[in-house]
Amino acid sequence: MKKIPDHIAVIMDGNGRWARQRGMPRIEGHRRGAASLKEAVKTCAEIGVKYLTVYAFSTENWNRPDAEVSFLMTLFSQTIDREVEELNKNNVRLNFLGQLDRFSPDLQKKMKASMEKLAKNTGLTLNVMVNYGGRAELVDAVKKIVARGVEAKGLREEDISENLYTAGMPDPDLLVRTASEMRVSNFLLWQIAYAEIYVTDVLWPDFRREAMLDAIEAYGKRERKFGKTSEQLNDT
């Protein structure tokens, strides 16, 4: 495969539909979705993707039934316990990004400990976005900028980028959304300015290695113009 994106962002959607299609409770879809994430990390690490950023829980997802929210919290905690060793063996760096202070003290501690444990790794960087909202992230960035006393007339785009949770990382090249939905749902609003968007019918629990490779192949065929004309791009 020729063109591998440096940074892939994924809106992991369709867990509930996957379960409903099988007459199972929604939480079974989430459980199976965790296995898809494990496979996505493995695939991306193998083929040389540098950053994988996944949407695991949005600021809006607190509006779901209490039982589902609480299952997801348990699933995050169990998945950290089960997967950190293997992520470490595979040289993966891990970030939980979002407003972590809304989680229970135990879960926050676990998230922080796992990030510290993997901080020195040099392979794939996995960003798991939790209690994440693109608008909340921008508000947090503006707060930091104001607190630093940056003057309005000197404000640059870099000031915003450098104060996002993803500071120092390149923007996503490819944004994948599973389960057919044609919307952004408050994900990475600033960072996806020039991402190539790929929407697939495949539900997240069924999104395995081949599905990821299909997305990357589709990306490879896109012409990224960044405002230029096709003629200009063909000349170089």
- Cβ(39)–Cβ(209) below 8 Å: yes
Phi, psi of 175 (to 5 degrees): -110, 120
- Which of the residues 6, 61, 90, 159 is marked catalytic? 61
- Interface with ligand IPE in residues 143-182 (CB under 6 A): 179, 181
Angle at the Cα of 192 from the Cα atoms of 170 and 129, rounded to 5 degrees: 80
Closer residue to ligand IPE, CB minimum distance, 95 or 120: 95
- Does 106 participate in catalysis according to the annotation? no
Binding partner of residue 106 among ligand IPE, Mg ion, none, CB under 5 to 8 Å per kind?
none
Binding region for ligand IPE (CB under 6 A) out of 13-21, 117-125, 154-162, 221-229:
13-21
Q: Does 137 bind ligand IPE (CB under 6 A)?
A: no
Nearby residues of 143 by Cβ (< 8 Å), 6 or more positions away: none
Closer residue to Mg ion, CB minimum distance, 12 or 141: 12
CB of 72 to ligand IPE, least distance (A): 6
> How far apart are alpha carbons 84 and 19 in whole angstroms?
27
> How far apart are alpha carbons 28 and 22 in whole angstroms?
10
Among 185, 190, 214, 220, binds ligand IPE (CB under 6 A): 185
Nearest to 212 by CA among 48, 89, 16, 18: 48
Q: Does 196 bind ligand IPE (CB under 6 A)?
A: no
Q: Does 96 bind ligand IPE (CB under 6 A)?
A: no
> How far apart are alpha carbons 235 and 3 in whole angstroms?
19
Q: Applying CB under 6 A, which residues contact ligand IPE?
A: 11-17, 55-58, 60-61, 72, 179, 181, 183, 185
> Which positions are annotated as active-site residues?
13, 61
